[in-house]
Amino acid sequence: MAVLTLMALMGCSFFAPKTDADISVKTLKEWLDQKKDITLLDVRTPEEWQEGVIKQTAIQLDFYSDDFSEKLADLDPDKTTVVYCAKGGRSAKAFEILKEKGFKEVYNLEGGIGAWTAKGYALD
């Protein structure tokens, strides 16, 4: 019972779902340092975006917007894509949508931007 109460108090975003292609913040940092050609997709809200982003070159598409799925058509499905949000919940859902739309190489940033800043990595 105590575990259920704790889960309710902390909210479901704390228990972000895993995908079959989660990557760590360390891996993403290495890719960015190596200037690996990736699309960095930030699925947070515009208000969250204003608080800082991993890289200014990230593409911001609000997961909650009515046309989120349609706007994904503007992205290159053949390019490596890393998707992130605040803690990993929305990005895990966006990851699944990207896979359904035929994106070939998609990764979900485990723990989202919260894990990025917890490691001490700066925001742009």
Lowest mean pLDDT among 14-23, 92-101, 110-119: 14-23
Average model confidence (pLDDT) across the chain:
87
Catalytic residue among 38, 58, 82, 85: 85
Q: Confirm whether 85 is a catalytic residue.
A: yes
Extract the tokens encoding 57.
């070159």
**Predicted pLDDT of residue 18:** 65
Quickly tell me which residue has 């969250």 as its tokens.
48
Confidence band for 90, pLDDT divided at 50, 70 and 90? very high
Q: Which stretches within 12-60 are classed as H helix?
A: 25-33, 46-50
Extract the tokens encoding 45.
């809200």
Domains of the chain, CATH where assigned: 18-118 (3.40.250.10)
pLDDT at residue 65 is higher than 60: yes
Confidence band for 54, pLDDT divided at 50, 70 and 90? very high
- Under DSSP, the state recorded for 11 is -
Residues 6+ apart with CB under 8 A from 82: 23, 28, 31, 38, 39, 40, 41, 106, 107, 108, 109
